[in-house]
């Protein structure tokens, strides 16, 4: 076993778009397990949009960063964690981590279910989509839904789960013609549009001429404004994120039609998936059979090598991926 680990530290705060200069690779002594702990070699590391917001303050400078991770136990002094166990934990952005049993989840290894799925549609990404659809928007069979940033990890999971829940029409926005085709031809969306092609409210009106019942909002700003315009009376908005503003130095002036929330009796509710972790087993019971049959597509972009994690993170922010972005550090 190697005697050192590599970790990524944030070394300064960004103003606008982050760059590689905001991070540094740091070599550290590999920690030895003490009673009640185990050493994990990380296999997969997640990079997510929320991390951009964390860079503004909640991540400490000059310290290892956090992130969703999957690793293999390689040494243990905890009887609850055996060598060879594969665990989910939050000590990402490093090659190895010292963990406690209370802070990890031992992952099952299921036929036709890659471990990487537990960082995408079976992880926080899929759980966010599932919670937004079932607990916040209460999507019903036969309803129409619009999903912004639909080719991202949460967006494509929301589209596929909406279809499983019986949605009549699933519409998504994305950032290129290639991604539009991918949403429709591979992921089963009924319609999609490239938001660069015109005014978003006009593009959504063309894709949903009869309006929508539900919006799953990942972007904010003009996307949210368009959704409010397109929603039927008593429509619902599950507000998940503000990716459109994470790197902006000026807040958006949209939505400028919030009065319609009252006029149309709409319900707009934001949520954090961390408040719904008790639904993890429900999510797995719902999705795993569909993954195994191939009805659910594991839409993932996996970058090989820990040395590429910073460029993977920056590429994710710039939309240089399909589905869930992650880095494979090692293999079983």
The percent of residues in the chain predicted with pLDDT above 90, rounded, is: 92
DSSP state of 149: T
Q: What is the pLDDT of residue 295?
A: 96
Residue 243, pLDDT score = 79
Residue 222 pLDDT > 80: yes
CATH 3.40.50.720 describes domain 124-274: yes
Q: What is the pLDDT of residue 248?
A: 64
Of the two residues 332 and 205, the one the predictor is more confident about is: 205
- Domain chopping of the chain, boundaries: 4-119+298-328, 124-274
* Secondary element (H or E) of residue 291: helix 280-293
Q: What's the predicted TM-score (pTM) here?
A: 0.94
Please tell me whether residue 65 adopts helix, strand or coil conformation. coil
To the question of domain 4-119+298-328 being in CATH 3.90.1150.10, the answer is: no
Average pLDDT over residues 237-266: 86
Q: Mean per-residue pLDDT for 5-30?
A: 97
Q: E strand or H helix at 46, and its extent?
A: strand 38-46
Element containing residue 216 per DSSP (H, E):
strand 212-217
Q: Where are the alpha helices (DSSP H) in 124-220?
A: 124-131, 153-164, 177-185, 200-207
Rounded Cα distance, 27 and 11, in Å: 15
Is pLDDT at 246 greater than 80 in this prediction? no
Q: List, for residues 87-131, the tens digit of each pLDDT value.
A: 999 999 999 999 999 999 999 989 999 999 999 999 999 999 999
**pLDDT for position 37:** 98
How many residues comprise the chain? 332
| pLDDT reported for residue 11 | 98
| Residue 241 pLDDT | 86
What pLDDT was estimated at residue 219? 94
């Amino acid at each position: 076993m190697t005697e050192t680990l590599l970790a990524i530290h944030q070394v300064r705060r960004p103003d606008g778009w982050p760059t590689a200069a905001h991070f540094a690779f740091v070599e550290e002594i590999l920690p030895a397990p003490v009673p009640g702990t185990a050493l994990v070699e990380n296999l997969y590391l997640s990079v997510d949009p929320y991390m951009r917001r964390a860079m503004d303050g909640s991540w400490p400078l000059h310290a290892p960063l956090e992130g969703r991770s999957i690793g293999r136990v390689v040494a243990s002094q905890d009887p609850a964690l055996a060598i060879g166990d594969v665990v989910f934990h939050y000590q990402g952005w490093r090659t190895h981590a010292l963990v406690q049993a209370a802070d990890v989840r031992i992952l099952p290894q299921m036929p036709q279910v890659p471990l990487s799925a537990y960082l995408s549609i079976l992880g926080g990404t899929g759980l966010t989509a599932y919670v937004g659809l079932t607990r916040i928007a209460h999507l019903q069979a036969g309803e129409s839904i619009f999903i912004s940033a639909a080719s991202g990890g949460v967006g494509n999971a929301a589209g596929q789960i909406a279809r499983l829940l019986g949605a009549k029409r699933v519409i998504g926005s994305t950032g290129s013609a290639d991604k539009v085709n991918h949403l429709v031809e591979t992921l089963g969306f009924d319609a999609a549009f490239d938001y660069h092609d015109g005014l978003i409210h006009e593009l959504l009106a063309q894709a949903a001429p009869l309006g929508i019942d539900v919006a799953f909002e990942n972007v904010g700003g003009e996307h949210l404004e368009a959704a409010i315009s397109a929603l039927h009376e008593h429509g619902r908005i599950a507000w998940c994120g503000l990716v459109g503003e994470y790197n902006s130095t000026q807040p958006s002036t949209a939505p400028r039609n919030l009065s319609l929330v009252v006029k149309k009796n709409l319900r707009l509710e934001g949520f954090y998936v961390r408040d719904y972790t008790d639904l993890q087993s429900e999510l797995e019971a719902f999705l795993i059979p569909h993954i195994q049959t191939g009805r659910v597509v594991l839409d993932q972009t996996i970058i090989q090598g820990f040395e590429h994690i910073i460029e993977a993170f920056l590429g994710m922010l710039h939309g240089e991926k399909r589905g869930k972005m992650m880095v494979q550090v090692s293999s079983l």
